[in-house]
């Protein structure tokens, strides 16, 4: 069975995308720097979600997981947004490189000439404008290459059957995981941590990864539930939904673990150049947003999704997923804004609308890719295992 997007849903998504883009323009009118910061937020977040979906597919190839095959085309389709997201992200990076904006103020030659920390801490070796641009191209190019490779092999398997595509995909996945392990960390230093370039945290890459992986799993769960509600996934049973919700729950807790590990060590040691990062967030107007974000991203899943029945209740899982996504949007907001704006800017309605607009574009790209291939892989060796999935 093939998927086709209902015209009504397409119109709603188109309208949301239009409103979102107008809101983005609105943020530029409010403050040009704020506009760029919002663009970076959405460009990074949705590219990362798309990347994490491809990572999910690769992990299951290497781990020889079979339970996900029934909805494998969903993360595959999410991965097809990567070129679009990468183009937008590249736009923001080029904007910084050509000094159109200074979200990353270390790119400014004047800062590089005079900043003591930049010149004495060894950051100078890594944070070089050209090197930084080349790294960006390598990350984005590499991710798109691997995501498309896995997708192409999966489509080839539909036509040819047999085990050869699967075995090749296994090998490419292993390579992707190695590439991803390094680049998911370094890209988060380059695009996000260097917004506060005086500061550093060795845990940062993992913290960012946990955040966008939860977002990707949640998006996947929402898409699968939506498809199921529209009659597309009859072969998926409660166990699949339970497992997806379980992953959303588990990685929410994992995210909290990393956030707290980073926070507690910095709070405890109280070294000026480290604690400054959290002073910017807890001693300013951002404080209520931080508390709200922690409540949504930790306490909410802990209380609501702990119970087995909650994870098997489709409506509850759907609502919980939307709340978790909002929580991680606020998380992304507090990651980027204090460093990029150097002052307190509350989460504005324009910012939220811009995010919804980007989500609509992301969904349009995903649905487009979803409609291009059979909704269930035809010859995947673990297809039957997935249909029998029972926990």
Partner 1 sequence: MSKATLLAKFTDPDECLHACEHLVKKGIKVREVYSPFPVHGIDGVLSVPKTRISTAAFFYGATGTTLALLMMWYMNVQDWPMDIGGKPSFSLLTNLPAFVPVGFEITVLIAAHGMIATFFFATRLFPGMPAKNPEPRSTNDLFVVEIVGDDNPGTSLNDLKSDLMNHGAIECSDDVLRYEDQ
Q: Does 268 bind partner 1 (CB under 8 A)?
A: yes
Q: Which is nearer to partner 1, 305 or 363 (CB)?
A: 305
Phi-psi region of 335 (alpha: psi -120 to 50; beta: other; left: phi over 0): alpha
Residue 306, φ and ψ in degrees, nearest 5 = -60, -40
**Using CB under 8 A, which of the segments 138-146, 259-267, 296-304, 312-320 binds partner 1?**
259-267
Smallest distance, partner 1 to C-beta of residue 10, A:
41
Contact 359, 21 (CB under 8 A): no
Contact 248, 305 (CB under 8 A): yes
Q: Quote the CA–CA distance of 169 and 175 in Å, as a whole number.
A: 10
End-to-end CA distance of the chain: 26
Q: Quote the CA–CA distance of 182 and 385 in Å, as a whole number.
A: 32
Structure tokens at 13: 């998504």
Q: Does 110 bind partner 1 (CB under 8 A)?
A: no
Q: Which is nearer to partner 1, 104 or 263 (CB)?
A: 263
Contacting residue, 264, 303, 319, 349, with partner 1 by CB under 8 A: 264
Q: Does 272 bind partner 1 (CB under 8 A)?
A: no
- Residue 364's closest CA among 93, 44, 21? 21
Smallest distance, partner 1 to C-beta of residue 59, A:
23
Q: Does 269 bind partner 1 (CB under 8 A)?
A: yes
**Using CB under 8 A, which of the segments 91-99, 191-199, 261-269, 283-291 binds partner 1?**
261-269
Smallest distance, partner 1 to C-beta of residue 391, A:
6
Contacting residue, 109, 116, 130, 390, with partner 1 by CB under 8 A: 390
**Using CB under 8 A, which of the segments 83-91, 156-164, 267-275, 285-293 binds partner 1?**
267-275
Alpha helices in 270-372 (DSSP H): 272-282, 287-294, 300-304, 308-312, 314-341, 349-372
Contacting residue, 7, 125, 130, 270, with partner 1 by CB under 8 A: 270
Binding site for partner 1 (CB under 8 A): 260, 263-264, 267-270, 390-391
């Amino acid at each position: 069975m093939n998927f086709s997007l209902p015209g009504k849903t397409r119109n709603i998504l188109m309208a949301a995308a239009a409103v979102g883009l107008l809101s983005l323009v609105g943020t530029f009118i409010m403050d040009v720097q704020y506009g760029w910061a919002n663009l970076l937020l959405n460009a990074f977040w949705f590219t990362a979600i798309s990347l994490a979906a491809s990572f999910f597919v690769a992990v299951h190839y290497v781990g020889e997981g079979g339970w996900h095959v029934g909805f494998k085309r969903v993360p595959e389709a999410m991965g097809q947004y990567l070129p679009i997201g990468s183009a937008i992200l590249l736009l923001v990076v080029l904007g910084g490189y050509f000094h159109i904006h200074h979200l990353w103020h270390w790119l400014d030659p004047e800062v590089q000439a005079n900043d003591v920390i930049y010149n004495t801490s060894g950051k100078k070796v890594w944070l070089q404008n050209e090197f930084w641009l080349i790294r960006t191209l390598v990350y984005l190019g590499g991710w798109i290459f691997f995501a498309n490779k896995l997708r192409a092999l999966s489509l080839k398997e539909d036509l040819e059957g047999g085990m050869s595509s699967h075995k090749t995909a296994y090998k490419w996945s292993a390579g992707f995981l190695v590439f991803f392990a390094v680049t998911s960390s370094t890209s988060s230093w380059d695009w996000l941590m260097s917004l506060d370039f005086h500061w550093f945290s060795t845990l940062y890459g993992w913290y960012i990864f946990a955040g966008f992986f939860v977002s990707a799993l949640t998006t996947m769960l929402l898409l699968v539930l939506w498809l199921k509600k529209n009659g597309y996934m009859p072969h998926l049973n409660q166990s699949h939904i339970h497992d997806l919700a379980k992953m959303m729950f588990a990685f929410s807790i994992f995210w909290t673990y990393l956030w707290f590990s980073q926070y507690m060590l910095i709070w405890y040691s109280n070294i000026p150049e480290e604690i400054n990062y959290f002073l910017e967030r807890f001693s300013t107007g951002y404080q209520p947003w931080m508390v709200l974000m922690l409540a949504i991203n930790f306490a909410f899943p802990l209380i609501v999704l702990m119970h087995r029945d909650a994870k098997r209740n489709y409506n509850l899982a759907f609502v919980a997923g939307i709340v978790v996504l909002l929580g991680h949007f606020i998380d992304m907001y507090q990651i980027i804004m204090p460093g990029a704006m150097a002052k307190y800017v509350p989460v504005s309605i324009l910012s939220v609308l811009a995010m919804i607009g980007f989500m609509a574009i992301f969904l349009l790209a995903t649905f487009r890719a979803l409609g291009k291939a059979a909704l269930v892989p035809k010859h995947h060796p673990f297809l039957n295992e997935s249909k029998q999935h029972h926990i």
